[in-house]
Structure 1
Amino acid sequence: MTPGPASSDPPPKDPATLPRAEFAFPGPLRDRLVRAILDGSKTTTTGLLVDYEHEGEPLPRAGSRAVVVDSHDRPVAVIEVTGVRVVPLGQVDLAHVLDEGEGYADVAAWRAGHERFWHGEEMRAALGDPEFTVDDGTPAVLERFRLVADLRPADG
């Protein structure tokens, strides 16, 4: 048995039994985010409360685990939530932005990049609202997590 990232961690459950963690939509952005998770540079993510509500999904909870899937729907990692905060979008802090591992050096650049995603056609279609927009008061779900297991084949 190969130890995980921390030898004191219990082995992850069978990934097939865990909920899925899908970062962005399949494609280049998801591929970059998954690489950042696997290399350890991404330890936070931001969602919108409206997205959880629209999907009827509960907010993540500290201690919960999920399997990260890549753009080809393959399980590539298991992550564990270590913290969750819901804050107005205008209150997202620099530490969270930097820990997203997307290369943003300040909150303004992060916000502009995320607004392009949230105001994009795919997100608006997923929410069923072609006019969807965010503002400083939009509730954002700030999730912190850690990599528990890299599920990629060792040979590959």
Structure 2
Amino acid sequence: MWPRIDGRRVLALGTPGKIRTWLTDLTLSGAKTATAGLLPLDYETEGEEVEHVGEHLILVNDAGEKAATIEITSVELVPFAEVPWEFAEAEGEGYTSIEDWRETHRRYWSSQGYEVTDASPIVCLHYRLLPPRPLQPTLTPATCPANTHAPIRPRRTPTTTAPREPPPGAFP
């Protein structure tokens, strides 16, 4: 079973260490918007269901801490030999061809103890980063005990006029 944070399933990309850090950084930069999972290894042995469109997952960094929240935008289950180039490209890892993607993933899953065949079922996930949620105030006028604080007054700051043109010599 996958870990949970805030009641949501965790997405830990790749293996711990440099690979996970690199893949997480690619996602945070927006270069990586897809990831592949091997159905028998990554789901069935873990007792997990395949993600669904609209599901929110917690992306974790190498320390297992929340790095971001992502939303699943598409899910496809396809045989390994039929994973399309567009998906491989969306993984953002610099593959030069679909053959390069297949060889890299075949080696990775082999290192995890699973031999991939052309018919092996692959879960192809596309996702997007969700913006951080703003912090909610813990006290509101309705929940704050009466007469325990002075009224909060807006701070006045001096106004300045921004220059309407760039300073001389700013552009060549």
Shorter-normalised TM range: 0.7 to 0.9
Is 1:97 matched with 2:79? Answer: no
Is 1:39 matched with 2:29? Answer: yes
> Which structure has the larger Rg?
2
Is 1:65 matched with 2:56? Answer: yes
Contact preservation (8 Å) 1:64, 1:81: yes
| Residue segments in structure 2 that go unaligned for 5+ positions in a row | 134-172
Alignment deviations for residues 97-142 of structure 1 (CA, whole Å, 9 cap, x no partner): 000000002101111111111010xx22xxxxxxx30011000000
| Residue segments in structure 1 that go unaligned for 5+ positions in a row | 1-14, 125-131, 152-156
Partner of 2:120: 138
Alignment deviations for residues 56-103 of structure 1 (CA, whole Å, 9 cap, x no partner): 100000000011111111110100000100000000111000000000
**What is the identity percentage for the equivalent residue pairs of Structure 1 and Structure 2?**
34
Matches within 5 A, 1:119-138: 119-120=110-111, 123-124=112-113, 132-138=114-120
Count residues with an aligned counterpart.
Answer: 128
Distance 1:65 1:37 in 2: 15
Q: Mean Cα displacement is larger for which, 83-92 or 23-32? A: 23-32
Of structures 1 and 2, the one with the larger relative CO (CA 8 A, separation 6+) is 1
Q: Which segments of structure 1 move beyond 6 Å, counting only runs of 4 or more?
A: none
- Tell me the SS of whatever aligns to 2:78: strand
Partner of 1:87: 78
How far apart are residue 16 of structure 1 and its match? 2.2
Distance 1:105 1:41 in 2: 15
Partner of 2:17: 27
How far apart are residue 149 of structure 1 and its match? 3.1
- Tell me the SS of whatever aligns to 1:104: coil
Distance 2:107 2:44 in 1: 21
